Homo-oligomer: A and B are copies of this chain.
Amino acid sequence: MSKLIVQKFGGSSVANVERIQAVARRVVSYKKKGFDLVVVVSALGDTTDELIELAGKITSDPSEREMDMLLSTGEQISVALLAMAVHKLGKEAISFTGGQVGIITDGNYTKARITRINANNIKEQLKAGRIVIVAGFQGISMNQDITTLGRGGSDLTAVALATTLGADECEIYTDVAGIYTTDPRIEPKAKMIKAITFDEMLEMASLGAQVMQPRSIEVAKKFNMPLHVRSSFSENSGTVILKEVTRMEDALITGITLNKSEAKITVCDVPDRPGGAAQLFKQLSIGGVSVDMIVQNVSHTRTTDISFTVSKANAHKAIKVTKRAAARIGAGDIILDENIARVGVVGIGMKSHPGVAAKMFDTLARNKINIEMISTSDISISCIIQKKFAEKAVRSLHKNFGLG
């Protein structure tokens, strides 16, 4: 039996006819090497954003079911065009929507979760020797409605198909060469990471290195499906994401992350009794505001301060909800700070090496960067600092942790 590879190409990889043709050439070259191929494609370039804009001209509050109906067309266009481009190169290929390949989801439009995949259709087509091209980002609910999987959902389609089909490899083609120790636009000495663990990648992704959708990494981790993130514009190997990475020299940390798209909200003088925080974050949740980092310290009085971060896009909505909730629980002032950045250090190595936190704080202090919030996980430490120091912080951490 031939080895099966699932390849996923993002929007920038199919942004125009020339790039679609380049993807077709790559796909055909793998087919000629004897691989079975399932290819998952995103919408062409900015198509999704253009469709969202079109809907926005009609209503500021579109039905989520209709948004999925609308947005799913983007990937459908891509798969048809890619199939044509593969045909042109003389190979058999067939395109499918998410629904046609049996990607069944729940009914949570715009952010549906895959419940199961009936992959018989794909298997038959592979057996017939065809390259199977699948529209990413979408599925079909039990009552036959078209659903979409949320931003970056094409990654999830690829990983879920690779897992279901027992693929030998799952390649994620993107517009960067792989995962870097930090953003190369900020620190030119950033190096590509050859191998990284799922856990590290999850911290890297959710902390700001937005190369892959976190949910898809979670699924790959759950089913132990190795991922290979690489550039669609070169033949170079990229970053492999695995369960465990054996490194010659166990680096203290793997990468430095940066996120400048969040705002910090502080609720002052929250009465320090059980339930205060619960009520606040319950209201935010009902209001549809996703909260990221939350920090509350012990208090020495009868009140305490709670700080949290939200995406800037949600900041004003969050402030409104927070004000209501704060009034209800008898809290004091609310302070919004949109000029913050989050820098993080990520590395499975820190589990066995004490002193990472100290080294991070010391590095920031030496550079006269004040730390406003700190939050840690098993394999990462994040600090909120003023945005104007963001790049300086990244560069100095990158250097001091020896990543350059």
Binding site for B on A (CB under 8 A): 17, 20-21, 51, 54-55, 57-59, 62-63, 65-67, 69-70, 72-73, 76-77, 79-81, 83-85, 87-88, 94-95, 97, 100, 144-146
Contacts and interface: CB of A to CB of B under 8 A. Distances in A.
A100 B66 contact: no
Contact of A59 (B51, B58, B85): B85
| The 9 A-B residue pairs with the shortest CB-CB distance in the complex, in nearest-first order | A70-B80, A73-B73, A69-B80, A59-B88, A66-B80, A17-B57, A66-B83, A58-B84, A62-B84
Contact of A81 (B54, B83, B100, B144): B54
Contacts of A77: 51, 54, 70, 73
B87 A81 contact: no
B84 A66 contact: yes
A145 B144 CA distance: 15
A145 B145 CA distance: 16
14 contacts: A54-B77, A55-B81, A55-B84, A58-B81, A58-B85, A58-B88, A59-B85, A59-B88, A66-B80, A66-B95, A69-B83, A69-B97, A72-B76, A97-B146
Contacts of A87: 59, 62-63, 66
Task: Specify how many copies of this chain sit in the oligomer.
Answer: 2
B84 A63 contact: yes
Given A66-B80, A69-B95, A73-B73, 9 more contacts: A17-B54, A21-B58, A54-B77, A55-B84, A59-B85, A59-B88, A62-B87, A69-B80, A69-B83
A20 B58 contact: yes
A69 B75 CA distance: 11
A91 B178 CA distance: 48
Contact of A67 (B73, B79, B80, B85): B80
B65 A94 contact: yes
A83 B67 CA distance: 10
Nearest to A20: B58
Nearest to A67: B80
Contacts of A85: 58-59
Contacts of A67: 80
Nearest to A57: B17
A380 to B, nearest CB: 40
A51 B80 CA distance: 11
A32 to B, nearest CB: 19
Nearest to A16: B57
A51 to B, nearest CB: 7
Contacts of A72: 76
Contacts of A94: 65
Nearest to A135: B69
A384 to B, nearest CB: 38
- Which of A17, A57, A62, A66 has most B Cβ within 10 Å? A66
A70 B80 CA distance: 5
Nearest to A24: B58
Contacts of A69: 76, 79-80, 83, 95, 97
Contacts of A62: 84, 87
Nearest to A72: B76
B144 A58 contact: no
B84 A59 contact: yes
A77 B72 CA distance: 9
Contacts of A73: 73, 76-77
A348 to B, nearest CB: 44
Nearest to A65: B94
A58 B100 contact: no
Contacts of A95: 66, 69
